[in-house]
Structure 1
Amino acid sequence: MLPPQACKKMQSWIRSRHLICAGNFLVLETLGYSTVERFSDCVSSLGGALINVDPIDKIWMGNHRQVILYRAKASLNTPQQHALKQYWIKYGSLYTRFDERSIY
């Protein structure tokens, strides 16, 4: 994946509150493992590395179906003036859409 495409994809995850920045780390929470694989491609094309992927919870979808919530952590050197960091400051959130603390 080319870096401009990777930045666009990460910006869409920031707007949808799937991706948050914490220092030089990026945290993505999603229900699909294919999204984790795309996130890994985006991070590697921008010069970062995927640290780990953890299944953190099971979420009910309807009455009879549970899906796994994955949390992927990546390291990406984003100084304060980096375009992705500035985008997160403007449009991002401190909590992901699946975080229980964001409900309150």
Structure 2
Amino acid sequence: MLPPQACKKMQSWIRSRHLICSGNFFVLETLGYSTVERFGECVASVGGTLIAVDPVDKIWMGNHRQVILYRARASLNTQFLHDLKQYWVKYGSLYTRFDERCVF
């Protein structure tokens, strides 16, 4: 994946409240592991490092189905860090869409 495409994808995750900035780290929370894999590709293409992927919780979808919530942490030490951080300040949120502290 090319760096401009990776930045656009990460910006879409910021707008949808899947990706937040925490210090110099970016944290992605999602229900699909394929999204975590795409996040790893995006981070690698902009020169960052995927630090950890943890299964955080199980969320009920309907009455009979549970899905796993994954949290991926990445570190960016390039010029893309500043650009994405500024984008997150403008369009992002302090909480992800799966955060239990924030009820809308």
Tell me the distance in 2 between the aligned counterparts of 1:78 and 1:71: 22
**Residues 57-102 of structure 1, C-alpha deviations (whole Å, 9 max, x = no match):** 00000010000000000111267x8221111000000100000111
Alpha-carbon distance, 1:14 to partner: 0.2
Partner of 1:51: 51
Structure-2 change in CA distance of 1:78 and 1:102 (3 Å): farther
Contact 2:3 2:46 in 1 (8 A): yes
**Residues 2-52 of structure 1, C-alpha deviations (whole Å, 9 max, x = no match):** 000000000000000000011210000000000000000000001100000
Partner of 2:70: 70
Specify the SS of the correspondent of 1:71. Answer: strand
Number of aligned positions between the proteins: 103
Partner of 2:33: 33
Tell me the distance in 1 between the aligned counterparts of 2:78 and 2:25: 9
For the aligned residues, what is the CA RMSD?
A: 1.4
Structure-2 change in CA distance of 1:34 and 1:58 (3 Å): same
Q: Structure 1 stretches of 5 or more lacking a match?
A: none
TM, length-normalised to structure 2:
0.94
Tell me the distance in 2 between the aligned counterparts of 1:36 and 1:103: 24
Q: Structure 1 segments of 4 or more deviating over 2 A?
A: none
Partner of 1:96: 96
Partner of 1:85: 85
Tell me the distance in 2 between the aligned counterparts of 1:65 and 1:53: 22
TM, length-normalised to structure 1:
0.94
Partner of 1:61: 61
Specify the SS of the correspondent of 1:38. Answer: helix
